[in-house]
Amino acid sequence: MLKALMETVASKIIKAISEITDRPVSLMEVCGTHTMVIAKSGMRAMLPGKLRLLSGPGCPVCVTPQETIDYCIALSREANVIIATFGDMVRVPGTRGTLEAHAPRVVYSPLDALTIAKENPGRDVVFLGVGFETTSPTIGATIVEAARKNVRNFYVLSAFKLIPPALDYIARSPQIDVQGLILPGHVSAIIGSKPYEFLAEKYHMPGCITGFEPIDVLQGILILTRQIVDGKSAITIEYDRVVKPEGNSQALGILNMVFDVCESRWRGIGMIPDSGLKLSSKYSRFDVRNEYDIKVPESAEPKGCICGRVLLGLSMPFDCALFGKRCTPVDPVGPCMVSSEGSCAAYFRYGDYGKTGQNGAT
């Protein structure tokens, strides 16, 4: 009965979207989890043909640059080093292989990496810190705990990214055809809605923070489409059962205490000012780059891979000549096929869209 009710609600929302979509509209779902929800539900095929949903740079594994992977692989070759990482990073190809070949410890929490350091006092344990504002506070809290317990052999390779600066890049890019943004619920639970307000004020681009049920996403699409059709722009919160405008003050406090903002390189985009996090001077002794001065050869993107374009909504996964042929989840070429939040992985797993029409509907 609940399933039938949800289907009825979804049908009504889709009907409302169809009734007001009187022109081509392009929306970008920033978050990789939203990409998976949209793909799994077959949402693109249900929406009007004039409405396009493009995937964005909201997959932390996917936007981690090749040079970070290469540095971590080189670091793993040090006899005294144990690499600890979340599972998605293990199979991301570097220029010359993957971390998988160097026996990293896969952990489910950064606290697990701290435990490994305590259990191996004669070795240096390095946690590969990849993630957005959702992940970085927990790693920041782990660093605080390591300092409190004076764990001297625990380090972090900081590759954290901040979402709003990347959205600024997208909003001002003349190449990227996006009129509205489906904003990430997880990140927004930490930072709130205020950091996105520049999108509406400076670029007149609406954004809607949505949850992760298909109804959430559809409701966000309806809100955005109405704004675009009416010529309005505002940052709204559909996911108000979790997200507050001011965000999570405790998590933000940890971020501000442990990290400083810095420039950061994003795969497919390049260097973006003020889009990354580095350890503050108070916690700089946990920065592995201060302990190991490792030089790696110049990094190179996988030949033929267009993950960079997919992350910016400039290409669809099936536009890649490698997709589903040379590049599959079993043998991935690029990170968008590796990550559980990657666009290519979503299209491969739930590939129910063809290659014609604006939504891929055949």
Question: What CATH number should be reported for the domain holding residue 92?
Answer: 3.40.50.11740
What percent of the chain is modeled with pLDDT above 70?
Answer: 95
Distance CA 226, CA 22 (A): 11
pLDDT at position 312: 94
Q: Given a cut of 90, is residue 359 above it in pLDDT?
A: no
User: Worst-scoring range by mean pLDDT, 27-41, 232-246, 343-357?
Assistant: 343-357
Q: Given a cut of 70, is residue 189 above it in pLDDT?
A: yes
Residue 268 — pLDDT band, cuts 50, 70, 90? confident
DSSP secondary structure string for all residues of 39-68: HHHTHHHHS-TTEEEEEEEE-HHHHS-HHH
Helices (H), the chain: 2-20, 32-41, 43-46, 60-63, 66-76, 110-119, 136-148, 163-172, 185-191, 197-203, 214-229, 249-258, 288-291, 307-311, 335-338, 343-349
| 207, part of any domain | no
Range of the domain at 338: 307-349
Distance CA 189, CA 186 (A): 5
DSSP secondary structure string for all residues of 210-238: --SSHHHHHHHHHHHHHHHHTT---EEES
pLDDT at position 362: 29
247 φ/ψ sector (left φ>0, alpha ψ -120 to 50, else beta): left
pLDDT at position 4: 64
Q: Which residues contact 55 (CB under 8 A, 6 or more apart)?
A: 28, 29, 32, 35, 310, 311, 313, 343, 346
Q: Does residue 275 sit in the same domain as residue 328? A: no
* Domain total in the chain: 2
pLDDT at position 167: 97
Q: Does residue 311 sit in the same domain as residue 284? A: no
User: Worst-scoring range by mean pLDDT, 136-140, 293-297, 305-309?
Assistant: 293-297
Given 3-state DSSP classes, what are the helix, strand and coil percentages for the chain, each rounded to the nearest 5? 45, 20, 35
| 128, part of any domain | yes
Q: Which residues contact 213 (CB under 8 A, 6 or more apart)?
A: 37
Q: Does residue 67 sit in the same domain as residue 97? A: yes
Q: Does residue 94 sit in the same domain as residue 148? A: yes
pLDDT at position 221: 98
Residue 360 — pLDDT band, cuts 50, 70, 90? very low
Q: Given a cut of 70, is residue 232 above it in pLDDT?
A: yes
